[in-house]
Structure 1
Amino acid sequence: MRDYIKQTGLWGLILLLVACGDKKAGQQQGPPPHTPVTAVKASRENAVYYDQFPATVIAVKEVELRPQVAGYITGMHFQEGSRVRRGQKLYSIDQQQYQAAYEQALANLNAAKASLVRAQQDAERYNTLAQQDAVARQLVDNARATLASAQQQVAAAQANVRQVQTTLRYTTINAPFDGTIGISQVRLGAAVTPGQTLLNVISSDNPIAVDINIDEAEIPRFTQLQRRPAAPRDSLFTLQLPNGNLYAYPGSIQTIDRAVDPQTGTLRVRLTFPNPEGQLKAGLNGNVRVKNNTSALPLLIPQKAVTEQMSEYFVYVVGDSSKVTQKKVTLGVRINDKVIVKDGLTEGDLVVTEGTQKIREGGVVKVNQK
């Protein structure tokens, strides 16, 4: 009996000690500690930067050479890939049948003219006799009708000569303007079909054009830039080549398209660049860099403060009571280790730059502000 009482008392003492320990541990635990982070204020700074737009190089003028008559190519009078001058002879098409048709048309014209001379003489003779009442009136009328018919035949023959002569000229294809001719699509002896066979392409290359598409929100800016007088060697528009190098010559706005594409909400802008060395080729892709020309200072934050989620960008902002809130932002160009924020933040917002992987929406942080 005595042993039983001792054991019971011992277990009671153990339970009491455990209860006291749990209570003491609960008193010592307290609220969770704040997550330490580093944060900086979003600020507006004076910075020179460029907005970039994907660009495609195109020819200011470009034409496909196609024959207007059928036949066989009998001559190629140029060097592929070379510069050609307006009016320069490029291709010859076999003209034997067209030359024969032209000579036949000339012969028909001469015959019609001879008939006209004879009709004029008859008409004059009958008119003289009619004045003397020496011929029937019907013969005079017939002579006048024959003269009118002969005149129409001459006019028709002349029109036919012009048509055949034009066709004959089409057997020679000349350059429509100064430019660069490409690689020929046909060779000597090839049969060509009017309006269908592509012979070659000529394009102008100095100056050369570059097309970009801008967001509709950028229209006022580019309209103002178009009206701005260009200074010598103005670097407002520069072209970045596919290899990353900058093209040596600056460009200027030539044309802003008439309407916004309703499907994409973008507007096409065409710029022109000097191309004296022929370095730029039609079809080349690159980026047009447009220098910032606004007086408003851009809002900048460190690049490392930004996190990307499914092609969207977010930052953590420290608010009241040291709680963090995740905000979606629209970014501009990157400048060294900073990035421009176009939308989503205001000047003075405290943005977390270090420790973002440890915090969550609504979490409480301890800020080490820089």
Structure 2
Amino acid sequence: MTIPEFMQAVYLTGHGGPEALEFRTDVPVPEPKADEVLIEVKAAGINNTDINTRIGWYSKAVDGDTEAAAGSLEADADDASWTGRPLVFPRIQGADASGTIVKVGADVDPARIGERVLVASLQPAADAVDEWDFITWGSECDGGFAQFATAKDIHTHKIDCDLSDAELASFPCAYSTAENLISRAGCKAGDTVLITGASGGVGSAAVQLCKRRGATVIAMASKSKHDQMQALGADRLLDRHENPAEVLGEQSVTLVVDLVAGDGFPALIACLKRGGRYATSGAIGGPMVSLDVRDLYLKDLTFVGGTAQAAETMPNLVSYIEAGEIAPLVAQTFPLDRIHDAQEMFLQKTFVGKLVLLP
């Protein structure tokens, strides 16, 4: 193909409301470095982290939930990214992308041109000092909210399947987050897993991935979404407003996968059996929680946070997709120039699965 000089893209111009997102048609197409590939982006999924970064929710100056923070925010720009370091603007966000390699850098095999690919959302930092030093594609470097994007060759994974571009773009961030989290928490056959925020991108991924491992899954979501949760394989359903400790009973589950936190946190800890595990990679209900530390040590609980990903996470995910072991869940697609509408719908949480932009 003939690669144009300029492209459509969305610039994040600073921390703030939707006005901080600027759709442009005159953005230079990036040139891949020696160890990079240039991807023609076919679809790009929307994630909580996109909005959290835009509004500065990761700043320690913020203690409210993401929905409340989206309206009015007093964040400190010096620590308003998930790494705790300031962002460089303008930034092209987009941690999820599916597309086709159209050009490669000097050190990359030209045979890769034409491959259909997914980009790993979480990547080791170039100057990483240890195994926990990661960046997010679309946060610490430009990502997929554009017609073309560059990515490191080693973090760009070939995929061979019949799914649509939009369906493929629903996988990388949410499913790798869920796979990494439940792997770290040791999810296995025989576990009874309670998943909060089960209708969201990471939550719906966790339902499928826990079932894939042979666990019994209890999904918490709005009642209007229960049919879809059941279709994904959930064995039992709870309304998101119910108190799980009262409905299920105390010491009733072996693993909690919590993507909400907030006021419901104590009931989740009460649900855990002795020796149970609590795992989290999100706090849309609010990051500040109340914990009785006696529960932590007297019940021999293990707390697991999940961000940095093991090297095998993305390759494993690609293998699950190619084998048809997990299914995409795309609620709606939007053209790239309607990113404001897409993020507004995202914040309403009236859908199940992922919203995807089509550049």
Tell me if both proteins adopt one fold, taking TM over 0.5 as the criterion. no
Q: TM-score, normalised on structure 1?
A: 0.20
The TM-score, its normalising length taken from structure 2, stands at 0.20
- Name which one, 1 or 2, has greater alpha-carbon Rg: 1
* Larger fraction in strand: 1
